[in-house]
Structure 1
Amino acid sequence: VVSDVPGLIEGAHEGKGLGLTFLRHVERTKVLAIVIDAAAIDGYEPMQAYETIINELRAYNPNLLEKPRVLVLNKIDLLQPEHIDQLRVQFADKESYLVFTSAATGEGTSQFVDVLFELISTTLSTEEPIAESLTMELPPLPEDFSIRREDEYWVVEGRWARYISRYDTTLPWDFQYVQREIRRKRLEEMLRQMGAKEGETVVIHDKAFEIL
């Protein structure tokens, strides 16, 4: 069951707007996905919007904050990379799962689905069978990239490389996602076909990895 709860406003726990109706639906869910407008088109700064939602959930029923959840910062296609980096730092200690997405371009949506599937799979009760797979039609990620040799490094460039470089590989979840993307693209296989050897360094846009 998926419950879409649009725009919890301040005072929702007191019945403002359709607050109580929305919040009752939230109680039935096993996992929460808090989606924030990262571009602040609606006039609310991302942190302000996030704190409003958390405060309303807490005021209505503190147990709601015990549910597994993921924070999604959407509309990143409207932001400059440095702004995304600032938001990543700003929200780093707020949630265990933080995903940046663009519903318009599809960027980050694959990671969002992966996170949801992981959280749902680990919280489903024994009475409800865990789905073997979760499929969803998503806009394709940027596919084009090129590989070249530069001195002692292998350099991967292009839209896909720039997309990957946005993830903070010092964070466990981001690192795992980048590793999955590298495997999905069969990047190491392509590098070996071009002569790359174990232990050599490959630079994807501005991030360095070691070939295993």
Structure 2
Amino acid sequence: PGQRAVVARSGLGGRGNRHFTTPTRQAPRFAERGLPGEEGWVELRLKLLADAGLVGLPNAGKSSLLARLTRARPRVADYPFTTLEPVLGVLGDEQGQLVVADIPGLIEGAHEGAGLGHDFLAHVERTRLLVHVLDLAPVDGSDPVANHATVEAELAGHAAGLERFPRVLCLSKADLVPEEDARAAAAAWRERLGEAALDVVVTSAATGSGLEELASAILRAVPAEPPPSAALPGAETPAAHRVYRPDRGESFSVEAKGEGAFRVTGPGVERLLARHDLENPDALRYLEERLRGMGVIRALEGAGFERGDDVEIAGTVFELDPGAPLR
């Protein structure tokens, strides 16, 4: 909340003709143009805001759990990648309510973009608690320990501080294994994770066992404040009010392009031309005054400039007479 970011800086504004009044120029008939600002394309990614996020491999049972814990109706099927967009549900008791998000399944390489992993992991950033849903009986016969490590590696690899988020481990599909095996698995995971998990809960969305315990664990474990997110490389935190002004850039260089032709380059002289209407005689006279004051005429003469030679500044060619105005 309240976060700010600079995506583009505006150009410096121009000054009106009143600014150019002098004792000999009491009614200037020219003004300054504003300088162009930065341009570019910005991609905005929506990150859903939830208190707890269900994460895990595809087909770990996250959608079934969300449907049983809340009134959400996610798509549920017995094949991977059923959920392609995060689904939100509300979990509550007499103490209050929390929003729980079913995050689409993560696969190996998700933090590098595999399986739309960047999009899925971005939603995890806005949660305050991770509920890692781990299948006790994977249909592919894979090792739950390796599956757990895969998901945790993808969360850590996302580089948004997800490894610091508090966690609850949910061992799902307990109805597919003997009860004593489920209890033994829970005990082994508590010993394996130690303080890395706030709680380990055995559940079955099919039978409803463990769901009340899981709901209580989530409501109890969600912190009052979200964990600090890792700062993005090069991220800028602007002050409440900041004025951006370009460097005056008075330095310039003079280059002989050939016989009777010269080029003047430098941010100051180029910006000077960009600010004024070159079709306005009064503006041209003012430019000549400024070029003299900056030492451009003197530098041209030192480089061999003679009356009637062409001078190019910012792509515009002038026939310059050191003793007369630009034309």
So what's the TM-score if we normalise by structure 1? 0.55
Q: Which runs of 5+ in 1 are unaligned?
A: 126-212
In 1, the alpha carbon distance for the partners of 2:200 and 2:140 equals 21
Match of 1:8 among 106, 115, 126: 106
Match of 1:116 among 218, 221, 225: 218
Give the structure with higher Rg (CA): 2
Kept in 2, the 8 Å contact 1:99–1:112? The answer is yes
Q: Where does residue 76 of structure 1 map in the other structure?
A: 174
Does 2:205 match 1:107?
A: no
Q: Where does residue 173 of structure 1 map in the other structure?
A: none
> What secondary structure sits across from 1:71 in the alignment?
strand
Q: 1:43 to 1:19 in 2, by over 3 A?
A: farther
Kept in 2, the 8 Å contact 1:38–1:45? The answer is no
Match of 1:23 among 116, 121, 129: 121
Identity %: 40
Q: Give the letter aligned to residue 34 of structure 1.
A: H
Give the CA deviation at 1:3: 2.4
> Looking at both structures, which has the greater relative contact order when contacts are Cα pairs under 8 Å and sequence separation is at least 6?
2
Q: Which runs of 5+ in 2 are unaligned?
A: 1-49, 51-99, 227-327
Kept in 1, the 8 Å contact 2:171–2:186? The answer is no
In 1, the alpha carbon distance for the partners of 2:201 and 2:168 equals 7
In 1, the alpha carbon distance for the partners of 2:152 and 2:224 equals 21
Spell out the pairing of 1:123-162 with structure 2 (5 A cutoff). Answer: 123-124=224-225
In 2, the alpha carbon distance for the partners of 1:101 and 1:117 equals 16
Q: Where does residue 290 of structure 2 map in the other structure?
A: none
Give the CA deviation at 1:61: 2.1
Deviations 1:11-40 (A, max 9, x none): 000100111110000001111111011112
Kept in 2, the 8 Å contact 1:13–1:19? The answer is yes
Q: Where does residue 142 of structure 2 map in the other structure?
A: 44
Q: Which has the higher helix share?
A: 1
Give the CA deviation at 1:90: 2.5
Deviations 1:71-121 (A, max 9, x none): 10000011112321331233113123100000000000000000111122x
Q: Where does residue 164 of structure 2 map in the other structure?
A: 66
In 1, the alpha carbon distance for the partners of 2:217 and 2:120 equals 23
In 2, the alpha carbon distance for the partners of 1:92 and 1:38 equals 15
In 1, the alpha carbon distance for the partners of 2:184 and 2:224 equals 32
Structure 1 moving runs of 4+ over 4 Å: none
In 2, the alpha carbon distance for the partners of 1:22 and 1:46 equals 22
In 2, the alpha carbon distance for the partners of 1:14 and 1:8 equals 11
Give the CA deviation at 1:124: 4.2
> What secondary structure sits across from 2:114 in the alignment?
coil
Q: 1:46 to 1:25 in 2, by over 3 A?
A: same
In 1, the alpha carbon distance for the partners of 2:149 and 2:160 equals 14
Give the CA deviation at 1:49: 1.2
> What secondary structure sits across from 1:98 in the alignment?
strand
In 2, the alpha carbon distance for the partners of 1:62 and 1:92 equals 26
In 2, the alpha carbon distance for the partners of 1:87 and 1:61 equals 30
Deviations 1:125-169 (A, max 9, x none): 7xxxxxxxxxxxxxxxxxxxxxxxxxxxxxxxxxxxxxxxxxxxx
